Amino acid sequence: MVDNVENLFSDVVSKARAIDPENARRWFDKLVPVKMEGGLLRIACPDDNTVQFLKNKSQRTFNRAAQQITGHLISVEFVNDHQSASAASKPRLKSPVTLHPDYSFANFVVGPSNRLAHASCVAVSKSPGQTYNPLFLYGSSGLGKTHLLHAVCSHLLETQPNAAIQFLSCEQFVNRFISAIEQGDLLGFQNEFRNVDAIIIDDIQFLREREQSQEEFFHTFNSLYNNGKQIILSSDSLPSDIPSLEERLVSRFSWGLVTRIDPPSHDTRVAIVKKKANLRGIKISDEVAEYIARKMQANIRQLEGALTNIYALASTTQKPIDISLARDALEEHSPAVSRQISISDIIDVVTRHYGVRLTDLQSKKRRQSITTPRQMCMYLARNLTRHSLEEIGGHLGGRDHTTVMHACEKIEKLVSSDQQIKAVIDELSNQIMSTPSTS
């Protein structure tokens, strides 16, 4: 069993608890994850009684939880597996990132644009600390950096039973560092980050203008590097192009292998569309895959968005997915699409209400006057559109699916505890639903 299933499982169970606290107390504690495969999360129960009960009472709760967390059409199956259910295992992943079950090497389509990046990630996950150290991946948004990092992490967890791995976003690193300083526990922080076998940090470009964190990361880096521990970083640009990154970090980031991911070629895009459709259990013809790949050239997140739109249109109109439906779903001003709410509709209404600009929402600003409308957009997009967590994050400055998930959870809590927020959400939702579509 791999830890990424465990992470997904524990998130699903906590979500299910929130949805159904009544049954949670008695039944949910005895469950353990078995396997995640082909869009199905299998969960072991200690006996038939539990299987029956959960099938009857909690199937929908768990499916909903799994779908909300992953942003994919995942469903849950309960099985009687006494042995698994009684064997507890201990997590080795010290990570605030939930490993995405679909972000594996097997699901990564290799083409000329990413061949080197893929090969170096595979090499590093086979022999961490021994081939390329550090490994530095860079490329623009939506080209698969985060996917590859998840794949390395999952692979390490599966193959290195005793390795301790830290996997986090740069923002999470900075936040942990800041709170360690606030709590006067720098030693604890250093222990946590310097005693691992591998550290994986996504979007390291956010270290810019963070002088103190850069200093701390410099020492973390040296300590790990000198002990032969693997360091993997991703960024949107070359180390030397990250603004105000200290020279000594720029040079260290280039000590190992620096590898770029380019935008995918047409053929690679076609293959990716097919792979994604397959993962979601959607059947599409070659013609439709070709059409999507021609239409969406900028990045891969867009390809996934297109697939979601097509699927949504097919399910609302009950029509088969053929080229004419794909055209309807993706052409601008299509009458079929105009009835659907787009993320832009949501962003328009929210930015107007709060008097902020889209660029603020997409920026890294953390002032509450910006974070609240940003999180509102995520929450509303989650509830009013069929976009996945990744797609929503993509529209709001390329944030990852966990960030969107946390934002949705936060607003969900607020809505149930704060009358005023609830009133704002209702008002904004009404406005959004009555706006003529911009898509």
Stretch of 74-82, 153-161, 251-259, 299-307 lying at the interface with ligand ADP (CB under 6 A)? 299-307
Cβ proximity to ligand ADP, 143 vs 199, nearer residue: 143
Distance of closest approach, residue 67 Cβ to ligand ADP, in angstroms: 16
Distance of closest approach, residue 72 Cβ to Mg ion, in angstroms: 17
DSSP 213-237: HHHHHHHHHHHHHHTT-EEEEEESS
Q: Which amino acid is at 103?
A: Y
DSSP 8-state secondary structure symbol assigned to residue 182: H
For residue 108, CA distances in Å to 114, 323, 394 come to 10, 26, 19
- Total interface residues for ligand ADP by CB under 6 A: 20
Contact between 108 and ligand ADP by CB under 6 A: the answer reads yes
Contact between 235 and Mg ion by CB under 5 A: the answer reads no
Contact between 114 and ligand ADP by CB under 6 A: the answer reads yes
Q: Residue 160 class from Cβ within 10 Å (0-12 exposed, 13-18 middle, 19+ buried)?
A: middle
Instruction: Assign 393 to helix, strand or coil.
Output: helix
Contact between 259 and Mg ion by CB under 5 A: the answer reads no
Cβ proximity to ligand ADP, 114 vs 205, nearer residue: 114
Q: From the list ligand ADP, Mg ion, none, which binds 393 (C-beta under 5 to 8 Å, kind-based)?
A: none
Q: Give residues 238-277 in contact with ligand ADP (rule: CB under 6 A).
A: 272, 275
Distance of closest approach, residue 247 Cβ to ligand ADP, in angstroms: 26
Determine which residue in the list 146, 205, 213, 402 makes contact with ligand ADP, applying CB under 6 A.
146
Cβ proximity to Mg ion, 310 vs 389, nearer residue: 389
Determine which residue in the list 20, 197, 304, 328 makes contact with ligand ADP, applying CB under 6 A.
304
Q: Which residue is nearest to ligand ADP (CB)?
A: 144
**Nearest Cα to 287, choosing from 295, 279, 298?**
295
Q: From the list ligand ADP, Mg ion, none, which binds 142 (C-beta under 5 to 8 Å, kind-based)?
A: ligand ADP
Angstrom distance (rounded) from CA 153 to CA 199 = 9
**Nearest Cα to 153, choosing from 199, 206, 91, 86?**
199
Determine which residue in the list 142, 239, 256, 373 makes contact with ligand ADP, applying CB under 6 A.
142
Q: Give residues 386-415 in contact with ligand ADP (rule: CB under 6 A).
A: 390, 398
Stretch of 56-64, 100-108, 324-332, 378-386 lying at the interface with ligand ADP (CB under 6 A)? 100-108
Determine which residue in the list 146, 268, 342, 385 makes contact with Mg ion, applying CB under 5 A.
146
| Sign of the CA dihedral running 272, 273, 279, 283 | negative
Angstrom distance (rounded) from CA 127 to CA 105 = 16
Contact between 120 and Mg ion by CB under 5 A: the answer reads no
Q: Give residues 22-51 in contact with ligand ADP (rule: CB under 6 A).
A: none
Distance of closest approach, residue 206 Cβ to Mg ion, in angstroms: 11
Q: Tell how strand 165-169 and strand 135-138 pair up.
A: unpaired
Residue 377 CA, chain-centre distance (Å), reads: 17
Q: Tell how strand 75-80 and strand 40-45 pair up.
A: parallel
Cβ proximity to Mg ion, 100 vs 145, nearer residue: 145
Cβ(428)–Cβ(380) below 8 Å: yes
Residue 84, CB-side half-sphere exposure with 13 Å CA sphere: 16
Q: From the list ligand ADP, Mg ion, none, which binds 439 (C-beta under 5 to 8 Å, kind-based)?
A: none
3-state helix, strand, coil in the chain (%, to 5): 60, 10, 30
Instruction: Assign 77 to helix, strand or coil.
Output: strand
Cβ(33)–Cβ(42) below 8 Å: yes
Cβ proximity to ligand ADP, 32 vs 233, nearer residue: 233
Token reading at 124: 């590093």
Cβ proximity to ligand ADP, 134 vs 144, nearer residue: 144
Q: Give the Cβ contact number of residue 199 at 10 Å.
A: 24
Distance of closest approach, residue 252 Cβ to ligand ADP, in angstroms: 22
Stretch of 140-148, 223-231, 285-293, 411-419 lying at the interface with ligand ADP (CB under 6 A)? 140-148
Distance of closest approach, residue 393 Cβ to ligand ADP, in angstroms: 8
- E strand segments, 251-346: 257-260
Cβ proximity to Mg ion, 146 vs 213, nearer residue: 146
DSSP 8-state secondary structure symbol assigned to residue 287: H
Q: Which amino acid is at 260?
A: R
User: What residues make contact with Mg ion under the rule CB under 5 A?
Assistant: 145-146
User: What residues make contact with ligand ADP under the rule CB under 6 A?
Assistant: 103, 107-109, 114, 139, 141-147, 272, 275, 300-301, 304, 390, 398
